[in-house]
A and B are shown apart, each in its own frame.
Chain A
Amino acid sequence: MSDAPVLSRFIRHRPAVGSVLVIALLGFGAVFAGGLRLPDPIRIEMADKFAPPLTKGHVLGADELGRDVLSRLLHAGRVSLTVGVAAMLVTVTFGALLGTLAGYWQGVVDTAPLRVTDAMLSFPPFFLLLALAAFVRPSLASMTLIIGATSWMDVTRMVRGQMLALREREFVQGARGLGASGGRIMVRHLLPNTVGIIAVAATLSVARAILLESYISFLGYGIQPPLASWGNMLNNAQSYFTSAPWVAIFPGITITLAVTSFNFLGDGLRDAFDPRHVMSPR
């Protein structure tokens, strides 16, 4: 498969292209949040408490401690996007590794991880995640690891399925016939053929991780204030939103925007990598 048709198929998926722009914008905002001459995201200014949008120099208003909502949103983007991407790396690395090993070596190596995968999949995902999150001291690193530790199962199954299909193909038998070792076949011949599904899984798991982070932080077991994350900005929102709805509305829109974009991106990648897949309408 050459790169050109993949790229052109991807560009034809308009929502996916739009999503790239949105993600770029959110990423840009997160990276340059410090340089945009916005109010300090953690400075408390009681005089500005619940300032509505477009007043007192707060474009999107101020929260219950008079902190600037826009500035907090952009800085929170750093935290939420970092957790999203880092958790994705954990998920995909572990999931792909286990899936490859299980799919290539059958027998005990296959059955044991598969049973654990099935057991993990039997729990409602959020119950397990919340139980872990509540007992571990919350930090960026712990959030990333916890989300990664409870999300790898789907990747494992997908990669394993692909491996099972690939390992019987002629080029693998050819490599084996030429005396290539199991490790070499896996790394040089099988893994490159799973790049497509791994890329799709990676994108979708960023979306999932951002969503999960927001759920945990909303319940108060995630990233702790004063450090802002999109989820913990909504943590107190329920108590205030009768008087200051903007405190609740904007973080929610941002999360939805980010997650939708990553989901569309994954959709576009799937269409691009797998031409047989029914093309979703553009």
Chain B
Amino acid sequence: MLVLVSLVGFSVLHLAPGGPAAIYAMTPTMSAEDLDRLTRELGLDRPVPEQYARWVGGVLTGNWGRSYRDGRLVREIIVDRVPATMVLMVSAFSVALGLGLFTGIVSAVRQYSLFDHLLTFGSMVALSIPTFWLGLMAIYVFAVLLGVLPPGNMGTIGADFSLTDRLRHLLLPAATLGVVMVATWSRYTRASILEVIQEDYIRTARAKGVAAGAVIVKHALKNALIPLITLAGLQLPLVFSGALVTETVFTWPGMGRLFVDSIGYRDYPVLMGLLMLTALLVVVGNLLTDFIYAAVDPRVRLA
């Protein structure tokens, strides 16, 4: 699977016209010989399959190559950026999970109420707003108009580390990234609970006099959550995409911004490393959800 993933990623990067040499070629001080030498040193004059074979050989021995831009090790560059993205994604995800479950449950229990209508409508709109624009608007309102929150970066530049400062910087990007997730979670929770509520065992619980709230929390929610585990896995690629855009708008020093920057420099080794790492995380994430699924639901057997 990962072999195929790497093949797709590699072909996309290398079959596209205008390689890294084209960027160097635009530098006026670069002579034709220098360009030639550079292309040869980077191995870019070799056929694509051979380049791929070299790259795979490197990765298998733990060598992800060096950045074309500054010659640093790709692994180091990427590892530097992982924590920032993780902080952003995990905080957005956990808040979205809580809020999404809560609103989804209320919406399902009070089906066709005003709250339900508003929420269904609101979540559809939230799913449709371009994340970057939402980020821009958040910056405009909270940083420019009200001036209560910082417009970007992970912390105040030059200041000593302080938790409140970090949290203040985290609030806007995490909220921006979280909006789409809240909407998704709330929609799926609502649908899942509505489905479960019609089951016989819910009627049984109600008939034997279990309190309405306890029926929902103890009997319905437990069963409704099972399909939602899969959602967590399926959402991962989208969350990465959202993080890329959010990081760009908020100048957040994570993997997404590294990707955008590296594209500008045609930095193939870094791009390839990022593509593979995110794909790897997605594959592992899906595998993990499958395991959790089997552990939670005794009806599912692992093949």
Binding site for B on A (CB under 8 A): 15, 115-116, 118-128, 130-132, 134-137, 207, 211, 214-215, 218-219, 221, 231, 234, 237-238, 241-242, 245, 248-249, 251-252, 255-256, 259-260, 263-264, 267, 278, 280-281
- Does B248 count as interface, using CB distance less than 8 angstroms? yes
Contact of B194 with A252 in the complex, beta carbons under 8 Å: no
- Does B201 count as interface, using CB distance less than 8 angstroms? no
Binding site for A on B (CB under 8 A): 1, 4-5, 7-9, 12-13, 16-18, 111-112, 116-117, 120-121, 124-125, 127-133, 136-137, 140, 144, 191, 194-195, 237-241, 244-245, 248-249, 259-260, 263-264, 266, 271, 274-275, 278-279, 282-283
Could you tell me the distance between the alpha carbons of A135 and B241 in the complex, rounded to whole angstroms? 19
User: Which B residue sits closest to A255, measured CB to CB?
Assistant: B130
Given A131-B275, A278-B191, A256-B129 contact (CB < 8 Å): yes
List residues of chain B with CB within 8 A of the CB of A263.
124, 127-128
User: Which B residue sits closest to A264, measured CB to CB?
Assistant: B124
List residues of chain B with CB within 8 A of the CB of A231.
130
Contact of B128 with A215 in the complex, beta carbons under 8 Å: no
Contact of A119 with B8 in the complex, beta carbons under 8 Å: yes
Given A131-B263, A218-B130, A248-B12 contact (CB < 8 Å): no
Could you tell me the distance between the alpha carbons of A120 and B120 in the complex, rounded to whole angstroms? 31
Instruction: Report B129 CB to chain A, min CB distance, Å.
Output: 5
Could you tell me the distance between the alpha carbons of A136 and B19 in the complex, rounded to whole angstroms? 11
Contact of A136 with B8 in the complex, beta carbons under 8 Å: no
Partner of B8 from A120, A134, A255 at Cβ < 8 Å: A120
Partner of A211 from B5, B130, B137, B194 at Cβ < 8 Å: B130
Given A119-B1, A256-B130, A127-B17 contact (CB < 8 Å): no
List residues of chain A with CB within 8 A of the CB of B275.
123, 127-128, 131
Apart from A119-B8, A126-B240, A131-B12, list 13 A-B contacts with CB within 8 A: A15-B124, A115-B1, A122-B282, A123-B282, A126-B244, A128-B9, A135-B16, A215-B130, A215-B132, A215-B245, A234-B132, A252-B137, A281-B117
Secondary structure call for the B interface: helix
Given A122-B283, A123-B5, A123-B237, A131-B130 contact (CB < 8 Å): no
Could you tell me the distance between the alpha carbons of A237 and B282 in the complex, rounded to whole angstroms? 33
List residues of chain A with CB within 8 A of the CB of B244.
124, 126-127, 130
Instruction: Report A269 CB to chain B, min CB distance, Å.
Output: 14
Given A122-B279, A130-B260, A135-B17, A267-B124 contact (CB < 8 Å): yes
Given A127-B275, A281-B112, A249-B137 contact (CB < 8 Å): yes
Contact of B136 with A130 in the complex, beta carbons under 8 Å: no
List residues of chain A with CB within 8 A of the CB of B17.
135-137
Instruction: Report A257 CB to chain B, min CB distance, Å.
Output: 8
Could you tell me the distance between the alpha carbons of A115 and B8 in the complex, rounded to whole angstroms? 11
Given A15-B121, A131-B263, A249-B137, A124-B237 contact (CB < 8 Å): yes
List residues of chain A with CB within 8 A of the CB of B283.
122
Given A234-B133, A241-B140, A281-B120, A130-B259 contact (CB < 8 Å): yes
Could you tell me the distance between the alpha carbons of A123 and B5 in the complex, rounded to whole angstroms? 8
